[in-house]
Amino acid sequence: MSRSRFPHLRRAITAALGVALVVGTAACGDSTSPTPSATRRPADARLPTHDQLLDVFGEDVERNIFYVPMAERRAELERIPWVEHATVMRLLPNHLRVSIVERTPVAFVRDGSRIGLVDANGVLLGMPPGAKGDAHYSFPVVTGIVASDPLSTRAARMKIFEQFTTALEGGGDKALDGISEVDLSNPEDLKALISTDSSDILVHFGEDHFLERYQKFEEHLPEWRTLYPKLASVDMRYDTQAVLE
């Protein structure tokens, strides 16, 4: 199908890159051109793009609505990386209603020199234009999340990240503001790069007691700075001592 033959479909998709998309099809026994309508997406929504939706629904224009493979279309939508869940319904006589729930990124992810985004389930997402400067994306960079790992592995590591950030948020005082990077490569030893007034310090938090260990680190940091002006790393995994480097 040539996309230029159906400008009305492009207009419909342009207006509906988010919450609710209504695509026109041909009703049973009706050969007239469809007149699609749509509900506009929220202003801060990101994807899917025009072309991605055209690729999914383009061949359904003027098709009998009862012949549109609903489950197949839903599956195609959910293969778009930013789509977490999709619902496709028939609206008689000649429309499809598509509802899309977009994935929500929770961190930047660094893999080598590349920066992307990742959601709470470990799904890797492309970086929308201007995302790094977007106020919606004020969160740390995580490492140890790579595309070659199974999704189950990435999901488990992001669960640890969620536990860590939730614990620090519970401590108040904007504890997370100083966390610039979180290393999830070892699930038994979460490491975080904490920005201080004079330098960044790598802190080993282990796999639990995150807030307690952060508070101890913060409490003793001035003393440690006095003793070790070039302090670069602190291991907080032990109950009775901290290992300084």
> Which tokens hold the place of 56?
């999914």
What pLDDT is recorded for position 170? 83
What pLDDT is recorded for position 210? 96
Check: CB of residue 145 under 8 Å from CB of residue 109: yes
Check: CB of residue 86 under 8 Å from CB of residue 29: no
Collapsing DSSP states into helix, strand and coil, what is residue 143?
A: strand
In which residue are the tokens 């536990």 written?
A: 163
What pLDDT is recorded for position 183? 97
What pLDDT is recorded for position 214? 94
What pLDDT is recorded for position 46? 58
Q: What is the pLDDT of residues 97-145, one digit of tens each?
A: 888 888 999 999 988 788 899 999 999 988 776 555 555 677 889 999 9
Collapsing DSSP states into helix, strand and coil, what is residue 211?
A: helix
- What are the b/e assignments for 56-85, b being 16+ CB within 10 Å? bbbebbbeebeebeeeebbebbeebbbbee
**Spatial distance between the Cα atoms of 229 and 126, rounded to a whole number of angstroms:** 40
> Which tokens hold the place of 104?
């929500």
- pLDDT > 70 in the chain, percent: 75
> Average of pLDDT values for 36-49?
46
What pLDDT is recorded for position 150? 96
What pLDDT is recorded for position 198? 77
Q: What is the pLDDT of residues 219-238, one digit of tens each?
A: 999 999 889 888 999 999 99
pTM of the model: 0.73
> Which tokens hold the place of 210?
């995150």
What pLDDT is recorded for position 194? 93
Q: What is the pLDDT of residues 163-208, one digit of tens each?
A: 999 999 887 667 788 899 999 999 999 999 998 877 899 999 999 9
Per-residue pLDDT at 57 exceeds 50 = yes
> Average of pLDDT values for 72-81?
90
Residues 6+ apart with CB under 8 A from 134: 128
Per-residue pLDDT at 41 exceeds 50 = no
Work out the angle between the directed axes of helices 210-227 and 151-170 (0-180°, nearest 10).
Answer: 70
> Which tokens hold the place of 87?
């619902």
Question: 217: closest CA among 194, 236, 201, 189?
Answer: 236
Check: CB of residue 74 under 8 Å from CB of residue 87: yes
Find which of 32-41, 132-141, 151-160 is predicted with most confidence, using mean pLDDT. Answer: 151-160
